Each structure stands twice: as C-alpha cells, then as structure tokens.
Structure 1
Amino acid sequence: MHSSAIFLIEFGAIILGLGLLGRFAGRFQFSPIPLYLLAGLAFGEGGLLPLGTSEEFVAIGAEIGVILLLLMLGLEYTATDLVSNLKTQYPAGLVDAALNALPGAAMALLLGWGPVAAVVLAGVTWISSSGVIAKVLGDLGRLGNRETPVILSILVLEDLSMAVYLPIITALLAGAGLAAGSATLAIALGVAGLVLVVAVRYGRHLSRFVSSDDPEKLLLVVLGLTLLVAGVAQQLQVSAAVGAFLVGIALSGEVAEGAHGLLSPLRDLFAAVFFVFFGLHTDPASIPPVLLPALALALVTAGTKIATGYWAAKRAGISAKGRWRAGGTLVARGEFSIVIAGLAVTSGIEPRLGPLATAYVLILVIIGPLTARYTEPVATRLTTRHRQPTIPAADTPQDRDLVPSPDTPIDT
C-alpha cells in the first residue's frame, strides 16, 4: 500500500509538472520539448530528486509515446500522397539525407565511437522535428505560403525513410549479422510495401471497418489495432514505431480525422512522458564533456538544413525569400532524434551518445524557431547590402521596407 501511494505521488507530480512546463512554454510561444528533457534530467540518475517506484511505469508510458507519435504522423498522410511525394520530391530527400546525415556519422567516427554509433548519430542529425516545425509554421502564419508544400514534402520523405532506417539500426544495435540484418530489412520493406498497396487499393474498406460514430469505440479500435500491430512488428524485429506509422497511413478520410482528434491528447501526454524518460537515463554530469561537440554539430547541421531547404525550394521555382524561409524552418530537431538516440541508449553501445544527443536536441529545438523567423530577413539584408554597398543603412521608411519584418509572414 505504501509503495502504491508513493507511485501515485511521484507520477502525479510528474504529470502536473509537465502540464505547468507546457503552459509556460505556450505562454512564450516555444516548444516544450527542451523543458521536458530538462525535467527528466532533474529527476533522473544524478539529478536533483531521482525517482523511485514510478520509473518502470514511465518506461512503459515512454514506449507508448513513441508509438502514438508515429501513428499520428501516419494519420497526416494518405498512401496516395506518399506515393506522389516519392515520385516528385525524391531528389530533395536524397540531398537532405546526404547533407544532414553525413555530419553526424563523421562526428561519431571522429570521436572514435565506431560504425554502429555513426549510423545512429547520422539519424539523429538527419531527421527534422515535424511537431516543432508544424507549430512554427502555424505560429508564423506561413501555412499558406508557396514554400510550405516543399517543407512538408521533405518532412514526409523523412517520415517514410524511418520505415527503412529504424529496422536497420534495430538490427545493428541487436548485434545481428549481415544475413539477419538483411532479412530484417527485407521484412520491413516488404511489410511497408504491402501496407502501401493495401492502403491505396483497399484503404476505404479498411477505414469503413474501423469507422464508428461512437468516439469511444473508434478510440478503442484504433488504439488497440495500433498497439497490436506495433507489438507484432517489434516481435519481427521491424520496430514498433514503424508498425504504428504504417497503421496511420492505412487509415484515411473521416476515420483518420476522427482518430486524430481523439488521440491528440493521448499523444501529447505520452510523448511528454517519453521525453522525460529519455532525460531520466541521462546523467546531467555527462553533458558538459560533450557540449562542445554537440554545439559544433548543431551549428554545422543547422547550416546544412538551411542549404537543403533552399535547394529544394529553388528546384520548385520558389523565390529567393521563400527559399531562405524554407531552409530556416527545417532546422529544428526533436522527437525523432530522441527516439533514435533512445534506441542506442537502451542497447548501451556508447554511453556518451545519449548525453550528446540530448545537448544537440536542446540546442536545435531552441534555435530552430529562431532560424525559421529570422533566416529570411537576415539573408535579405545581407544580400541587399552586398548588391548596393554604397547605400547606407535604412533610415527612411522606404528603405526599411526593403527588409521585411521578421514577424510578418510573406507569401511569395
């Protein structure tokens, strides 16, 4: 009875604290992810007040959080949209992977962590935060801008790549040999392809089967189906997250919209628990030694993401201002980077990888909204000065209009 009371007190304090942190972040219009990570550091090993009885339950909640994050991403896209994006935007996806994964892999090798850690850190630096970027686009009023479909296409391709990437690192972290790893990848690709075919041809029938006018029944069926498929996928060494993502893709129409509304609060709750759980397993004392590599990696990959967005927007015929906005918006890293690093931390391949990933995400999840807001006006100001070096700084209203306000969204 005593341990049960302690569990309720600890877990209740965690949820209450996360709610207050979320409200604080919302008041100042920035992502709560860094605050959740810091909360985990405070209550974890080496923190101010380590948890006792509730840590096991938090671990289960964190796993559900990852599953719901991927399910909700899948619900955002239809199979037709994904196939269309693959056909038209795959060059941008390849450039994105090359420019942003290679710095992470190179840093791991320079630090002497080995090839497996290099593959993991490549994923950490590669994938942008869909959640943070979607919020930033909404806050800045840029959802209708011409460059926004380019940004979303890159995010979609990154999400799709997880269906291939996660099984690869799962096999590598498990120490599977070449044959076993190839078999795991073949299974993952086969399942993903099968789900896409079923979703394109029979998605309406599947959605009709899941559909219900009763929100309670719809919630139970979708959540139960997702957890079941995620469990089967994990049993096949494919990754529970990929299974959840594929379930989201398979559902469409009114079912997807209804499920999205019902599951959003659950996603937010368990995703917050996930970020706390990751922080729990990171000793705050282990962050300072990797802070400089994390900062260097953050600066390099912020630049490569800006270059990625600029190139993709230019390829789509967007004006120079829109190209800079696209690049600056893609900088933020978040949930996916932590999911990937969490797999590595659990496997224990490199003790410094978790702290470095934590510091890296903390830096970019704070810098990301700033680059989204200010990259375009700063680039415009610099290019204007470069083209007209003899003209002094803007002193008149007409001159100042040459440089758009950072708070003013521009649809070009």
Structure 2
Amino acid sequence: MDHLVFEIGLAVALIALAGLLSARLRFSVIPFYILIGMAVGPHSVHWGAFDLRFISSAPLIEFMGRIGVLFLLFYLGLEFSVGRLIKSGRSIAVGGTIYILINFTMGLLFGFLAGLPFAEVLIVAGITTISSSAIVAKVLVDLKRTANPETEMILGIIMFEDVFLAVYISIVSGLVLSGSSSLGGIALSAVIALGFMLFVLIAGRKLVPVLNRLLDIRSNELFMLVIFAVLFLVAGFSEKIHVAEAIGALLVGLVLAETAHMKRIEKLVLPFRDFFGALFFFSFGLTIDPLALGGAVWLSLGAVVLTLIGNFTAGLWAGRSAGLPPKASVSIGLTIMARGEFSIIMANLAKAGGLLPILQPFAALYVLILAVLGPLLSKESKLVYQWLDPLFKWTARTESKKNYASPEG
C-alpha cells in the first residue's frame, strides 16, 4: 500500500471491526486491538499483490498511539483528581499498600529468578504489578457491581496503583531513558521526577481560582486549543526532564479535575481518548513480531500464574483488612486481575530505553492472556468462590462465627 491516507483509513476500519467483534463476544476490546495490529503489522505475512502490512504508515500510527496514551492518562487524572485521592483515605492506604507490596515483590522476584538484568527486572515488575483501570472499570459497569460493598476497595486499590505508577514510571524512566547507572544518578533522577510531580500538583491546586478564570472561554474551539496546548506542553516538558510523558498528562488531568470546568473538559476529551486510545493498542500490535512470541511463552505463562496467585492473595488480605466477607474479598482479587494499558506503557518504555527485545513479546502475551482471563474470572467470581470454599472452609467459618455470636451459642 503506497497511499498513506488509505492506510490510515484501513487501520481505523480494522480497529472498528475488532471493536464490533469484541462487543459481539462481550470481551474486553484491548486484546482484539492488539491482535488485529499483530495480524497486519510489518512482521506479518505478505499475501502477494494484496499486501495488508502497515509499513509506510506505521511511524504515523505509532505517533498517534503516543497521543492516545496521553489522552488515556489525562482522562484518568480528570476522573480521580487530587482531592479524591486524598479523601479516599484509609481504604487506599491499606488496600493499595497490601496489593502493591504483594504483587510488586513477586514481580521483582520473578524477574531475578528469570535471570534478567536489573533494568529489565524493574520493567517486568512494573508490567506485572499494575492492573488495567480501563478493563476494571468496564467490568464493574458491565456486571452492574458499582454498588457492591467490595467496589469501594477495588476503586481504592486502582487509585493507589495510579499514584504508585506515577512515582514508579518517573523513577524507572529516569533510570532507563537517562542511562543513569550509579546510585547517585538514579537518586538524582528520582528527586527531579518527584520534585516535578509535587511542584505541578501543589502549584496546580494553588492556581485553581486562576485556572477557573482563564478557562472561562465561550468558544469550544478556543477552549479545546488551550486545553490541548497545556496537555502537550506539560507532557513534552516531562519527557525533556526524563519523566514519562504519560505522567505529565496524568498530572495535568489531576490538576484540571479540581477546576469548575472539569465536566466540560471531560466531555471534550472523551472522543479523543477513545479514538487515539484504540490506535495506541493497535500500534502496539504493529510492533510485535508474531514469530517472536514463541520465545516469551514460558516467561509470560510464569508471570500469569504468579499474577493469579498474587492478586488472589492480595484481594483476600485487603478485603479482610476492610472487614469484608470472603466472597467479596475473592471478587476483589479477581476483578483487578486484568492487565492492559499500563503494562504496555512499561513495555514501550523498555523499547525506548533499548532494553532486551523479549520484553515486548512478553508484555504482549501477558496482557493478552490476562485481558481475557481477568474479565472472565471476575464474571465467574461466585463460581470460583464455591469451587475454593471446600479448600478454605469459608462458609464453615462464617457459620461458626454466627453460632458463636448468637445468644444460644
């Protein structure tokens, strides 16, 4: 294909087809976007004169995918805001700490046991620790569980993950992108990154009244231009000081969420988030060589098993700390199982830093498996609870406690 516009049009059509297929099958759309990208990427099979490989347009699609990452994290910041993060209080601190402690530690151990270098171990730990906010939110809405008692804990863990992600990507990007190998260099990168984040958040909150006045713009066109200018400038500056550009976008979203114009910005950004976000997952698929996936099969399967164990344990522990029943605690662990956009961001960070190429197919396989398994396990959480009940004796313990608490007991 020699015509760039036609290639872009065909890419959008294929993405739409993948979306329709996922909706028909009632599965998360993310693995479908990645798979369709893999099927038509530069590494795919060439069918004679009918060449569907996206070669000339791949760099442009990759750049549009980067924009998609900015919109995904910008919107996430708008949804949560600094104020909500602070008000969520104990559920975030306790449940989130438990979740990160278990999964991050297991991710580090897995990377070291796999014999990977230190920088690659940090990337693997990041890939395996952070769940997909997009998939989790969709699961909660689709299964109509937003009012369930465990949902507050799930959202608390998700928000805690986002804070952890912001700090972690800042530190790892400073190490990987700046090439700092000494302890002093890593510490300096971390201090610069954290200092920049704190400055944006604190200054942003102080400037909310000023932002409210400056953004009081009647013209939607001019309003959009101002918002996008701030988004891209801050994200671009973040990259300049070796902080992931996605974190710059997240910070802008967190700050603007405090303004009186949040709803208007959210409504404006939503279609851009969906369109460019889909291109992000598709562009990630384009970078994957299907023939290279075989080398990452066992590494990916090992990480999946570890994630299943880690998430299940973290869910039970976090639920117990909040006084939730075992059935709700099982639901927590299974609902936050899916991995997606953040794992891919970590893999792309590894690629940008020139780390081992196996991290890309590893992340692709790992995300694909859990993007399918996560929603499925969450949907069947009651069945999983019933299956494991004879082993853990949850029902028997609950009945015993009831009998002990009753006057007759």
TM more than 0.5 = yes
Could you give the per-residue CA deviations for residues 66-119 of structure 1, whole angstroms, max 9, x where no partner exists?
A: 111110110011212112346652232222222112333233323322111000
Question: Which of 258, 263, 271 matches 1:265?
Answer: 271
Rate the CA distance shift 1:211–1:28 in 2: closer, same or farther, 3 A: farther
Query: Which stretch of structure 1 is more off in the superposition, 113-122 or 97-106?
Result: 97-106
Secondary structure of 2:147's aligned partner = coil
Distance 2:120 2:89 in 1: 28
8 Å CA contact 1:79–1:199 kept in 2: the answer is: no
Distance 1:194 1:85 in 2: 22
Alignment match, 1:304? 310
- Tell me the amino acid that sits aligned with residue 346 of structure 1: A
Distance 2:329 2:392 in 1: 18
- Tell me the amino acid that sits aligned with residue 209 of structure 1: L
Distance 1:188 1:37 in 2: 31
Deviation at 1:15, TM superposition (A): 0.6
Alignment match, 1:15? 12
Secondary structure of 1:268's aligned partner = helix
Alignment match, 1:176? 180
Deviation at 1:199, TM superposition (A): 4.2
Alignment match, 2:370? 364
Unpaired runs of at least 5, structure 1: 390-412
- Tell me the amino acid that sits aligned with residue 176 of structure 1: S
Distance 1:321 1:26 in 2: 28
- Tell me the amino acid that sits aligned with residue 113 of structure 1: L
Question: Which of 337, 344, 351 matches 1:345?
Answer: 351
8 Å CA contact 1:85–1:157 kept in 2: the answer is: no
After TM superposition, list the pairs within 5 Å mapping 1:117-128 onto structure 2.
Answer: 117-128=120-131
- Tell me the amino acid that sits aligned with residue 14 of structure 1: A
After TM superposition, list the pairs within 5 Å mapping 1:4-403 onto structure 2.
Answer: 6-48=3-45, 49-85=52-88, 89-174=92-177, 175-177=179-181, 178-252=183-257, 254-383=260-389
Could you give the per-residue CA deviations for residues 285-307 of structure 1, whole angstroms, max 9, x where no partner exists?
A: 11122112211211220221122
Deviation at 1:60, TM superposition (A): 1.1
Alignment match, 1:397? none
8 Å CA contact 1:306–1:330 kept in 2: the answer is: no
- Tell me the amino acid that sits aligned with residue 372 of structure 1: S
Deviation at 1:381, TM superposition (A): 4.8
Deviation at 1:63, TM superposition (A): 1.2
Distance 1:320 1:113 in 2: 37
Secondary structure of 1:142's aligned partner = coil
8 Å CA contact 1:314–1:320 kept in 2: the answer is: yes
Distance 2:195 2:236 in 1: 17
Could you give the per-residue CA deviations for residues 210-235 of structure 1, whole angstroms, max 9, x where no partner exists?
A: 24344333322212210111011111
**Count of residue pairs the alignment pairs up:** 387
Secondary structure of 1:76's aligned partner = helix
Secondary structure of 1:237's aligned partner = coil
Distance 1:156 1:181 in 2: 26
Distance 1:160 1:207 in 2: 25
Deviation at 1:265, TM superposition (A): 1.3
Secondary structure of 1:170's aligned partner = helix
- Tell me the amino acid that sits aligned with residue 325 of structure 1: S
8 Å CA contact 1:103–1:297 kept in 2: the answer is: no
TM-score where L is the length of structure 2: 0.89
Distance 2:216 2:383 in 1: 47
Distance 1:159 1:388 in 2: 32
Distance 2:394 2:125 in 1: 41
Distance 1:172 1:192 in 2: 17
Give the superposed CA RMSD.
Answer: 2.2
The percent identity for this pair of structures is 34
8 Å CA contact 1:163–1:189 kept in 2: the answer is: no
Distance 1:388 1:95 in 2: 21
Distance 1:388 1:130 in 2: 29
- Tell me the amino acid that sits aligned with residue 265 of structure 2: A
Query: Which stretch of structure 1 is more off in the superposition, 230-239 or 184-193?
Result: 184-193
TM-score where L is the length of structure 1: 0.88
